Copies of this chain bind each other. A is one copy, B any other.
Amino acid sequence: MSDITPLENLGEFGLIRRIQETVTLRQPSTRLGIGDDAAILAPEAGHDLVVSTDLLVEGVHFDLTFCPLKHVGYKAVAVNVSDIAAMNATPTQLVVGLAIGSRYSVEAIDELYEGMRLACEAYNVDLVGGDTTASRGGLTISITALGQVPHGQAVRRSGAQPNDLLCVTGDLGGAFLGLQVLEREKAAWSADPDMQPELSKYPYVLQRQLRPEARMDVIHELRDLGVVPTSMIDVSDGLASEVLHLCKASGTGARVFSENLPAANPMLEVAEEFQLDPIMCMLNGGEDYELLFTIPLKDHDKIKNHPDITVLGHMTDASDGVNLITKQGQPIPLRAQGWQHF
């Protein structure tokens, strides 16, 4: 980066004006964006609203050693949009809170907002407000996203029935293996700052980790197909953890067939290089931001040829438990081994 302008040169109000100038408003329901005590929205008639919030903390959720701020900004928006998608809703607005450590320059914050701006464009969502403050440590990003869904069509975690098909979008485990690559290269670089990180060999898993996408495409396609999931959640902590959430909320069990787990070839190659079990990567990896959902058996024909939807198995009575079924047909109880922050 060539220019380094200290944030105190701008001040809080100057920074807000700078952000405000780059924002484009697209949603008809946005009446007033950044610049007042609150944004004003006029929700579309006949719709319910959904609201979700996420924090991304430097050193916990992202590491600027290997993650460009533009990607951090994009990902911060995408993971919030993913929560909106998981309700079967369409994102409309978001607000952003930033606590900024003293080593951040105006140019660094510009990079972060550029990533958020790109994601807002990709998901057609308006940045309508925020708060910026100093922090004593690193960067903390708080995003709250709003979305809308036709009245009564929001999909909860709790609606699955025994015999519903359990489906997932895309493929799994890639984001976790991308993180393994980044951490290995960081460790090597820490030991020898002259080394060149070996990243170009791993474009797929790195993209999965650094710049995930929310699956709004699938939400729109399901709507076009006339399929309303009976339950849904996004895969942030890992598939096993999310299956358990759906089962607990719905009062069901589930059978997940291990040979159905969707693996991408680049993920399998990296798993082999790291001598990690790809099944475990797919079950417990986390951060894939795919959608896990259930549909009635009668809708199977509508989705069976969809290239981005895989049927993992089906829901059962709660008394059957929540099991991974091995190739040999043996049930193994699923355990959540997702993120442990504390």
Give chain A's interface residues, CB within 8 Å of chain B. 6-8, 10-12, 15, 31-32, 35-43, 45, 48-55, 57-61, 83-84, 86-87, 89, 93, 95-100, 128-138, 140, 142, 144-147, 151, 154, 156-158, 232-234, 249, 339-342
Contacts and interface: CB of A to CB of B under 8 A. Distances in A.
A181 to B, nearest CB: 23
Contacts of A95: 51-53, 144
A69 to B, nearest CB: 17
Contacts of A41: 48-51
Given A136-B58, A144-B95, A7 B53 contact: no
Given A8-B342, A37-B233, A55-B97, 15 more contacts: A36-B157, A37-B232, A38-B83, A38-B89, A40-B87, A41-B48, A42-B48, A42-B49, A51-B93, A51-B144, A51-B146, A54-B97, A97-B142, A133-B341, A136-B137
A147 B249 CA distance: 29
A22 to B, nearest CB: 18
A53 to B, nearest CB: 4
A142 B80 CA distance: 15
Given A38-B52, A53-B96, A83-B38, A140 B135 contact: yes
A232 B38 CA distance: 11
A39 B12 contact: no
A49 B40 contact: yes
Nearest to A53: B95
A261 to B, nearest CB: 22
Given A48-B42, A136-B59, A87 B37 contact: yes
